[in-house]
Amino acid sequence: MTKPHTHRYDDIINLPHHQSKVHPHMSLQDRAAQFAPFAALTGHEAAIQETQRLTDRKIQLDEDALEALDEKLELIREHLGTNEEVTFTCFVPDEKKEGGTYADFCGSVKKLDLYARTILLSDNTVISLDKIVDIQGNLFAE
């Protein structure tokens, strides 16, 4: 005579699933949210990346370099309205940390305001004279 196959849970295996009368049934989306990844240090990764981001120091121009820039600005003033293409290399300060980056702005000069110390390019870009570290263009090739 063979012994019937018995298992430890045979007495409960075919019982109906229990439904609580007190608590509502949880949706699958809410159940899945319980197992979603958890970031204990919110913003920590962004702070590390911000610290790793490099910035440049602003170049302090000497008297000769400042004089050369003044001469170039005078040439630009004399040639306003000729649509000469000029490239300004400017220091752009970083908003979050010390230092900044150098950026080139190209275009023809529409207006040179020595009182406000700004240059307005034809594409309406405004450049502060105090941020300019170099000026290039065919106008200065002579």
Task: Encode pLDDT of 17-61 as tens digits.
Answer: 888 889 888 888 888 888 877 667 777 777 777 777 777 788 888
Give residue 89's pLDDT. Answer: 94
CATH code of domain 63-140: 2.30.30
Which structure tokens are listed for 88?
A: 């300004």
Nearest-angstrom CA–CA distance, 107 and 113: 16
Asked if 108 and 95 count as a contact pair (C-beta separation under 8 A), the reply is: no
Q: Where are the domains of the chain?
A: 63-140
Asked if 69 and 61 count as a contact pair (C-beta separation under 8 A), the reply is: yes
What is the residue whose two structure tokens read 């229990």?
18
Element (H, E) at 92: strand 85-93
Mean pLDDT value of segment 5-28: 84
Residue 112 half-sphere exposure toward CB, CA atoms < 13 A: 16
- The CA–CA distances, whole Å, from 25 to 15, 22, 28, 52, 54 equal 19, 10, 9, 47, 52
Nearest-angstrom CA–CA distance, 56 and 54: 7
What pTM did the predictor assign? 0.62
